[in-house]
Structure formats: C-alpha cells, structure tokens
C-alpha cells in the first residue's frame, strides 16, 4: 500500500490527492458540473505513471452528480486494477480538515441549503440534517461555505489532504473496512427533458 489515491467530487470544485508512503500531493480544480470529463485526466496527471494500491473517495453529502461520478470513477479504477476502495463522509473529512471537535460541520447541499452535523469532543453528536443559512446564524461552524458565515472554511483540497492523513495509515495497517456507498440527505431535483415532456403530452 505505497500509493493511495483520494478523490473528492462532493463540491463544484473537485480535488484529488495521492499519498506516497506518507508524502501527500494534491490538486484542486473547477469542475464546472463536468466531473466525468475532467476527473480521469487529472488523476492520470497527478499519479504521473504510478499505479495506486488503494483508493479513498468522499461519499457525501454534497453535489449529487459529483458524488456519483467520484464513486463510480473510484470503483471503476479499483475494479480494473484489482485494488480496494474505501469511503469517507464529506462532513467527517471537513471536520478533520478544520480540526473541528465541537460545533457544526457543514457542506453545501444545493438549493441554497447546507448539510449540517453537530460534533462534540471530536465525534458526530447527531445525524446530518439539512439547514439554511438562517438556521446556522451565530453557530460555531466549520466546512465548505463556513467562512462566509463566520466559521472556519475548508474546501475540497483541504478535505482530501486531511482524509489521506487520517485514513492512509489505517488503510496500510489493514484496520479500515472497504466499501464506498453514496450518502445523500435527499433525492436529487430531477426534471423531465423537453423530449420527455412532449412525449407525455
């Protein structure tokens, strides 16, 4: 387990990172709602010819399509190489990135809302819920979007680096369970295409 790849596509900006024997390199870029087209070339560029021994991927909550693409990419690469995939929640990754032990960790969840989870003594104290900026006013916040609300900001790249720092030693030690199942707070907002609407009329 010398080389561990991490993928985070839970935001409008995606990030990837590689832990090579404890040395972490990472990059972040604008996805422009096009994770599927630009993610694989970015991974190939960051790996620079190396082949990962394991893959860690952010499982949500966050951008619905982004999470799906990230997990599908991780599972496809893992299947092709015969290597394990591990998942980490977006809110836990943000808590690790900000060092948040007590307060509310948040992640944009679309439609102007946030996924929010209360943490106490470095552990989740409640299940994640959907919250508005008004709900979060005056709270001790950390995570993506927290900076604009007076909290500690942490984006995709910070989450990737923190995830690798926490999970890579456990992956190498064989103490982490494999698997990466997507976590969504709600179903996506899907509308019919014009063709489907015309066919239904």
Query: Are residues 162 and 99 located together in one domain of the fold?
Result: no
Query: Are residues 76 and 123 located together in one domain of the fold?
Result: no
pLDDT band at residue 37 under the 50/70/90 scheme: confident
DSSP for 63-74, written as a single string: -HHHHHHHHHHH
Strands, E, within the chain: which ranges?
A: 3-8, 13-20, 23-30, 54-58, 85-88, 103-110, 113-120, 123-124, 129-131, 141-143, 152-153
Two structure tokens written together for 108: 């944009």
Q: What is the mean pLDDT of the chain?
A: 92
Least confident window among 27-31, 129-133, 185-189: 185-189
Query: Are residues 80 and 137 located together in one domain of the fold?
Result: no
Residue 103 included in any domain? yes
Query: Are residues 63 and 129 located together in one domain of the fold?
Result: no
**pLDDT at residue 180 tops 60:** yes
Is 86 in contact with 179 (CB distance < 8 Å)?
Answer: yes
C-alpha 95/C-alpha 106 separation (Å) is 9
Residue 191 included in any domain? no
pLDDT digits (tens, 9 = 90+) for 144-170: 999 999 999 999 999 999 999 999 999
Domain count, the chain: 2
Is 51 in contact with 3 (CB distance < 8 Å)?
Answer: yes
166-185 average pLDDT score:
96
Strand partners, 152: 142
Query: Are residues 48 and 131 located together in one domain of the fold?
Result: no
pTM as predicted: 0.90
Query: Are residues 139 and 67 located together in one domain of the fold?
Result: no
Query: Are residues 12 and 62 located together in one domain of the fold?
Result: yes
Residue 168 included in any domain? yes
Query: Are residues 53 and 147 located together in one domain of the fold?
Result: no
Query: Are residues 108 and 64 located together in one domain of the fold?
Result: no
Radius of gyration of the chain (CA): 17
Residue 101 CA: distances (Å) to CA of 20, 64, 114, 150, 168: 28, 27, 19, 17, 21
**pLDDT confidence of residue 192:** 46
Residue 51 domain boundaries: 3-90+156-173
Least confident window among 4-13, 74-83, 178-187: 178-187
183-200 average pLDDT score:
61
3-26 average pLDDT score:
97
C-alpha 31/C-alpha 15 separation (Å) is 9
Strand partners, 124: 119
Q: How many residues does the chain have?
A: 201
pLDDT digits (tens, 9 = 90+) for 101-136: 999 999 999 889 999 999 999 999 999 999 999 999
């Amino acid at each position: 387990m010398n080389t561990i790849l991490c993928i985070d596509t839970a935001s409008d900006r995606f990030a990837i990172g590689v832990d090579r024997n404890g040395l972490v390199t990472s990059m972040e870029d604008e996805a422009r709602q096009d994770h599927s087209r630009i993610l694989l070339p970015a991974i190939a560029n960051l790996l620079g010819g190396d082949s990962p021994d394991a893959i860690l991927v952010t499982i949500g909550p966050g951008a619905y399509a982004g999470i799906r693409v990230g997990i599908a990419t991780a599972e496809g690469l893992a299947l092709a190489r015969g290597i394990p995939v591990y998942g980490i929640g977006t809110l836990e990754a943000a808590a690790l990135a900000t060092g948040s032990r007590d307060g509310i960790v948040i992640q944009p969840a679309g439609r102007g809302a946030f996924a929010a989870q209360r943490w106490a003594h470095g552990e989740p104290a409640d299940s994640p819920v959907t919250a508005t900026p008004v709900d979060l006013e005056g709270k001790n916040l950390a995570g993506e979007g927290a900076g604009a609300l007076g909290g500690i900001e942490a984006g995709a790249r910070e989450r990737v680096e923190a995830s690798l720092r926490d999970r890579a030693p456990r992956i190498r030690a064989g103490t982490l369970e494999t698997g990466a199942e997507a976590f969504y707070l709600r179903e996506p907002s899907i509308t019919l295409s014009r063709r489907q609407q015309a066919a239904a009329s």
